[in-house]
Structure 1
Amino acid sequence: MSDTVEETACGGEFEEEFDAFYARTYPWLAARAVMVSGNRQNAEDAVQEAYIEAMRRWPEVRAYASPEAWVTTTMRRKLSKDGRRWWFRWKPVEMAETTVPAAPTATVEETAEALAALRALGTLPPRQRQVVVMHSLEGMSYRAISAELGISVGSVGSNLNKARARLSLMLDVSPELGRPTERLLTRTPEDPLTAALYGAAEWLSDGFRGDARNGFRSDVRNGFRSDAARNGGPDGMRERR
């Protein structure tokens, strides 16, 4: 890639295009990151690094069939890599309204249901949390999850079953369809547990949408510039690929 193209990725047409992509995808990506990690700071760090990488390679990433899928995978890999440092010290986490961005337009009942789902997720071991979010919220197959996490298909199924069993018990949902929790959603999943998780994700997304308007994008840009400076500018960054 020429220096001209590399520099254009940070300005002009490509910059505007990246800004639109960021505004559209950030809230949902940040919500999923929180639900996987159980920690807002870890989630935001992983999301920021994923977008910095996407900005650095935007002329390439924008040409993919799904740039959002590429950023999502980058975010998950970052969380998995960092997670190995704390998985062995894992303990249940308490997800409270004060630790996540609350949806400004949500009703009291919607907020209570979303926080209940987040708290239930926080009781799951990290691997179970990963698998249930990847399968239920992102629609990934057992085989795709197996390939990304480096575990067997059987292990994916086992972790998913354990996660669903615990979440169903804690959230008092049955396998029957048509539970009232579906009213929180803009689309209707096939089972009430997925409905509850989608409701929590959409509640988080609404909160993060406000953050996106309040300057997080500038943090991505500042991180991009720092990354470029540490690696000797565009030439140094190209050498890392």
Structure 2
Amino acid sequence: MRDAEEFDAFYSASAQRVLGHLYAMIGSRAEAEDAVAEAYARAWDRWASVRECDSPEAWVRSVAYRVAVSAWRKAVNRLSAHRRHLAEQHVEATTVDHVAVVAALRRIPAEQRRVVVLHHLVGLSVAEIATEVGANPNTVKTRLARGRRALAAHLADDEYQSTGGGRSHDV
């Protein structure tokens, strides 16, 4: 019980000051708060030895700074790895057809869109789709048929609109 009271007193007396110091060092209050919280947690875990240090506050401040720098390094490494991964990927240019299909898919009901994508883009069978979406295979077939019709109608409308022309009417 004495350790907890002693640590609580130490924390109460020093936490705001350490937070202010770390914030000044790293420039982000949110990151400073996270690092300080982690440092005090570590101090509590090692309180028997930390309290014997010349300056327990300096110990916490040093640990908090190392935690913050470590988090920063991890973020930088993650970003670098992400950039490397993106640089290695070949991304094909988006075609007009792709844009038209995506736009048309957005215009059909969600259930139809889901089965059309699962069947035509993912390559699942009707039975596999039925299992994945938790529906009867006949329901999947109906959604697929309706989705294809709706998609075709929207693609035809988009084609009509993109030409800018009107339809000729025989009189």
- Do Structure 1 and Structure 2 share a fold, with TM-score over 0.5? no
Structure ranking higher on relative contact order (CA contacts 8 Å, 6+ apart): 1
TM-score, reference length from structure 2: 0.43
User: Greater share of helix residues, 1 or 2?
Assistant: 2
TM-score, reference length from structure 1: 0.31
